Chain A
Amino acid sequence: MISANLSAIFYLVSGILFILALRGLSSPETSRQGNLFGILGMIIAITVTFLTVGNFSTSTIYVFIFLLVGGAIGAFIAFKIPMTAMPELVAGFHSLVGLAAVFVAISAFKNPEAFNLGIPGDIKLASLIEMSIGAAVGAITFSGSIIAFLKLRGIMSGSPITFPGQHIVNLLIGISIFVLIYFLCSSQSESFFWSMIAISFLIGVLLIIPIGGADMPVVISMLNSYSGWAAAGIGFTLENTALIITGALVGSSGAILSYIMCKGMNRSFFSVILGGFGGDASVSKDKKKDQKPVKSGNAEDAAFLLKNASSVIIVPGYGMAVAQAQHALREMVDTLKKNDIKVSYAVHPVAGRMPGHMNVLLAEANVPYDEVFELDDINNDFANTDVAFVIGANDVTNPVAKTDPQSPIFGMPVLDVEKCKSVLFVKRSLSPGYAGVDNELFYRENTMMLFADAKKMTEDIVKNI
């Protein structure tokens, strides 16, 4: 048993270790150490909690058992999950944080004495508000993340689900949560508490279904942020500094990532949230009317072009992740390098389905991170490059974003791929990207389309070099 003051100091220490964990991510060199700080912070927080409660009984044994069961499941997932499934995994993990927040709030509501919040039926007003906010945000995080998970996993279609009056309905439901919290606080009645949680689950679903597949990077960052605010809400209820600090860190981290993703698509945060943008590349119907000439080639042509180039920039996108082509791609690059060709990678901020998705896949394929460049760092190099090899990316290379104010993607920062002497575009068909916009690049003089599965095409090119 340690004093409340001492344990508060320890919680502060673990909060600071969490800050250092994020700080470590400023460079890959320090990131592994940062992760260890995070683990240390977690160990301190858990140990201190045991010591503070100090009541070692049979319950303690059960706590350890449940801890180990959860831990074993988590460790199993962490080692088995393929890197291409990282967006789903993160969405799934967000849902667990959300649900855990709901459960802790329920425990606190049912047994407020354990947390020094008063007695059932007479919980302190501030605590009641805090736990309601924690539970509501947690519930939204949970059900929203489940929908995001289903969409990312492909179990649910990536196209937006919209219905008339959607925003009004959402708004009314949103308001009703506040109304229920108000009644809960004035009456302390359990039924208001349960209905508030149920409605929060519902709004989580309704908020995410209208958002299309292309906007998933924003959604996933946003849910990251929500899970933080839920944790902070519970932190206030439990009067726990570690939880408050962590909640604030995670909340702002998710918010910043959402902002970066929105900026990468030149979309306002609200237009993403309101949804209805981008489906499963289904908007191609009326585009077929003017069949413009397209130059297409095979692996041999591509190998010839690549072999005779002196510099190549690779532009990976979501298609590379789907085809699991990252290892084949690295093999191709190795072969090119043996022929003294300079190769670098250009990663657009919203390439893939979550922030940094492409970087992880390339790292998995043993691509050194100092060969991978961000949009701003590499965009001027396209003009002096012989070949751009676009694999699985589409909208992020579309020159229309710079030229046509009518286009829905106008103003989105894009990679200036068309400035290369020639462009190789690996794609399964001419279908437009997630934004539903035809890519003007396909019809350019210096573009050669390679119609094939990304992985197979890359392997064929390697054979032909």
Chain B
Amino acid sequence: MSVSERLHPGVNLGATDPESHEAAEEVVFGFWIFLMSDLVLFAVLFATYAAMSVQGIAGGPAPAEVFDLTAAFVETLLLLLSSFAFGFAMLAMKYRENARSVLAWLLATGVLGAAFVGMELHDYYVMITAHGAPPQASGFLSAYYLLTGTHALHVSSGLVWMVIMAVQIAVFGLNTAVKLRLMRLALFWHMLDVVWIGIFTFVYLFGVVS
């Protein structure tokens, strides 16, 4: 099969670095499967939340009373912008092979991602102190904290991964192994966007409306 026939979803290196493209086939496919399994985990958490946000309120605060839509909207923008920045990092990696600009874009991604996690922690703080809504208050809140917390944990581990990749770019330059890892990190990061869109729509918008 020619190189062009073996494209995988996402950034492909076929045109600029055929050797890495060849190596990417197996690992990127494997990572897609991992993401699929990870999404099943989120699906289970969403389903649990769906049940508990209706039946698990138990006299405690209801969704509309505790959610701050403005904060959630800003968080959405931060996370989407960070994904946008990561897209530029990948383009810099693919077309310019310039470690410095990849690092700069990664830094932008990381700062936006960290701001997202920081805002979310602040949300939690407000919910617990101002609204009396810790995860122990009701089944609904347990499910809410688990769903958003799992997402925040994913974002945080993505940030750690990003730091490690920055070090690896500095140490090894953009060799095949580093490129493939960046490609997988990018997929991971974009998947977290998709999950967050689900959370923003289903948990926040839907929760405040109903």
Q: Determine if chain A interacts with chain B.
A: no
Residues of chain B whose beta carbon lies under 8 Å from any beta carbon of chain A: none
Residues of chain A whose beta carbon lies under 8 Å from any beta carbon of chain B: none
